[in-house]
Amino acid sequence: MLDLSVGVAMVARFQKFGMSFVRRSATSVFALLAAPLLAFSAPVAARPVSVKSVAAGGAAAWDGFVRQTLDRWFVIDPSTAVYQGAHEHDGQLPDWSAVGLERKATFLRSVIARAGSFKGLTDKQRFERDYMVQVAKGQLFWLTDADQPHRNPSFYVNGGLDPNVYLSRDYAPAPVRMRALIRFFDAVPRAAAQIRANLTHPMPATFLYFGGAAFSGFADAYANDAPRAFADVKDAALQAQLKAASQRASAAMKGVADWIKAQKPGGDYALGTERFARMLSATEAVDAPIPTIEAAGKADLARNRDELVKACTAFAPGETVPACVEKMNADKPADGPVAEATRQIPDLEAFVRAHDLVTIPGTEKALVRPSPPYNAQNSAYIDPAGPLDKGLPSIFYISPPDPSWPKEKQDAYIPGKADLLFTSVHEVMPGHFVQFLHSNRADFPVGRLFVGYAFAEGWAHYAEEMMWEAGLGNGDPKVHIGQLSNALLRDCRLLSAIGLHTGGMTVDQSKALFREQCFQDEGNADQQAARGTYDPAYLNYTLGKLMIRRLRDDWTASRGGRAAWHAFHDEFLSYGGPPIPLVRQKMLKEPAPHAVF
């Protein structure tokens, strides 16, 4: 649900990389992605490029500016380049020193100023310019205004420490990836020292728990998962190098985790009203007042609750709504959610094709796997292949319950079949997986490289309701309850984000909101309330969905309504992943970008 990262993710897909973009969303290598314009014969990092070497000018100069800007972006952020498939950056981590952080801030300010100075661009170039400027503004917000490097462990958790690309993505023979992983491990102790130097205390309890769990998970993955992944490589010397490097990296991460766990909680997680508004503007080009967004979220919550009452009346007559939702979730897959999701995806693909909902480009596949322990705080997410890793599958990860929980809480956490069905819709078909198949094929570089949080999560969440509207489940109220339970979860994320960061809401009050208004089980409510403190942008699921629905209604109104859905979906996805107000401006030919719900 890059439920990164950002990212991504991500975080992972978090939601991931800077919180405003999903896992593979922050940046990528331009050269291999746009081969007609430039072909590399040497690693990008070997010859840093100054953005200033291309003078701002008109249309003729724009492509050169984009090329040099993206070249430099990956020198600064090599870990994201690796996830995009630019493996000349393998083994590198960002420079998180004070000098490195300031270098990135200076670069982003330069991108904003110089891109904005171009005149005489074509319509397509103006769109790419506005898109690039918005990306830079969003990253700069998290880096400086929100000050995440000093305040929020998620900046690092979602910033390149995940080794999964080397372990699970078969982009090269195992010995090649193994050597890259050894270089990665060699870079971790320096990164760990920078993290400890940067993070200030006290931090809120939720930050400490999240950071402690994530860094401990990395430590375990480095020491255990990595050697297992390459156990079949018959090279004793390489195995010895991997063992030594993985143990050093694991010890460094464990040191960070132990250091965080030893801290006493304190401090304030809230961004505050003004900074929260700046977040919306910088990261998503959303200009609507916060009360307007909150009202839209409350209206969507009320709409979905009303629909849930109707569905429960049919599915569990005489039962309370919580009992009805519990009944829906009691129908759990006997062989677990990974096996069930694996069965669901081919059926969903057949449904999308039969109902002509959206083009599914390419032949790439999505595989389903259990989440690695270091990213188990996300109940489900997808790690999509980058645009440079041609023909590789994406991985849909599903997290098991926390083994430290009581058995009853663990059992409740495992989704029912109907609930899981819409998670599979969200993550794979036609959600994130299909969306990234399109963005990887966008016809301009920035569209292939940057996929925003609200665009990705908004599309995936929009896809859930759209699939129900198109007939998924044939009107079965149990299936509808599965869709609505996911919608209510995202409604409460929007209201929780606004409450936690602008309204004085406590974590316990947020948890109660998820339990009482959105009918979430205790384990999910715990996770979601905590996540809202360190991921204030998780309102983007519902925010993005509402903007996409309104854009669809406005665009298709003069094009045949439901008959134009396929055309709408294909055009919407063709823009890559920019802030949705930019897409609205482009598709409706409006004079300026605005957020409309």
Token pair recorded at residue 402: 């926390």
In the chain, count of helices (H) and strands (E)? 27, 3
What's residue 174's pLDDT? 98
Short-list 358, 274, 204, 293, CA closest to 540: 293
End-to-end Cα distance, the chain? 22
Residue with tokens 């999964």: 164
Least confident of 30-34, 83-87, 251-255, 382-386: 30-34
What is the C-alpha to C-alpha distance for residues 171 and 87, in angstroms, rounded to an integer?
A: 9
Three-point CA angle 13, 365, 460, nearest 5°: 40
Short-list 376, 358, 384, CA closest to 466: 358
User: Which amino acid is present at 275?
Assistant: R
DSSP 38: -
More confident residue, 15 or 296: 296
Give bridge partners of residue 380 from the DSSP assignment: 398
Summarised one tens digit per residue, pLDDT across range 24-55 is: 333 223 333 333 222 222 333 333 434 454 44
| Crossing angle (nearest 10°) for helices 477-502 and 417-427 | 60
What's residue 41's pLDDT? 28
What is the C-alpha to C-alpha distance for residues 537 and 489, in angstroms, rounded to an integer?
A: 15
Summarised one tens digit per residue, pLDDT across range 264-298 is: 999 999 999 999 999 999 999 999 999 999 999 99
- Within 77-153, residue ranges assigned H as helices are 78-84, 98-116, 123-140, 148-151
What's residue 374's pLDDT? 65
Cβ-Cβ contacts under 8 Å for 277 (sequence gap 6 or more) = 289, 290
What is the C-alpha to C-alpha distance for residues 285 and 558, in angstroms, rounded to an integer?
A: 26
Token pair recorded at residue 365: 């596949």
Short-list 401, 261, 432, CA closest to 337: 401
Q: What's the CA dihedral at 372, 373, 377, 378 to 10 degrees?
A: 10
What is the C-alpha to C-alpha distance for residues 489 and 493, in angstroms, rounded to an integer?
A: 6
Ramachandran category for residue 267: left, alpha or beta (phi over 0 → left; psi -120 to 50 → alpha):
left
DSSP 3-state of 373: helix
Count Cα neighbours of 568 within 13 Å in the Cβ-side half-sphere. Answer: 24
What's residue 410's pLDDT? 81
Summarised one tens digit per residue, pLDDT across range 457-474 is: 999 999 999 999 999 999
The 10 Å Cβ neighbour count of residue 322 is 13
User: Which amino acid is present at 248?
Assistant: R
Q: Are 578 and 284 in contact (CB under 8 A)?
A: no
DSSP 3-state of 380: strand
What's residue 236's pLDDT? 98
What's residue 377's pLDDT? 63
Rounded mean pLDDT, 424-450: 96
DSSP 503-555: S---HHHHHHHHHHTS---HHHHHHHHHHHHH-GGGGHHHHHHHHHHHHHHHH
Summarised one tens digit per residue, pLDDT across range 81-136 is: 998 888 999 999 999 999 999 999 999 999 999 999 999 999 999 999 999 999 99
Would you give the distance in Å from CA 377 to the centre of its chain?
13
Helix (H) / strand (E) element for 580: namely: helix 580-588
DSSP 3-state of 252: helix
DSSP 3-state of 158: coil
Maximal C-alpha separation, the chain: 71
DSSP 3-state of 263: coil
Summarised one tens digit per residue, pLDDT across range 334-379 is: 888 999 999 999 999 999 999 999 999 999 999 999 887 766 666 7
Is pTM beyond 0.75 here?
A: yes
Summarised one tens digit per residue, pLDDT across range 505-527 is: 999 999 999 999 999 989 889 99
Q: Hey, CA dihedral for 192, 226, 10, 265, is it positive or negative?
A: negative
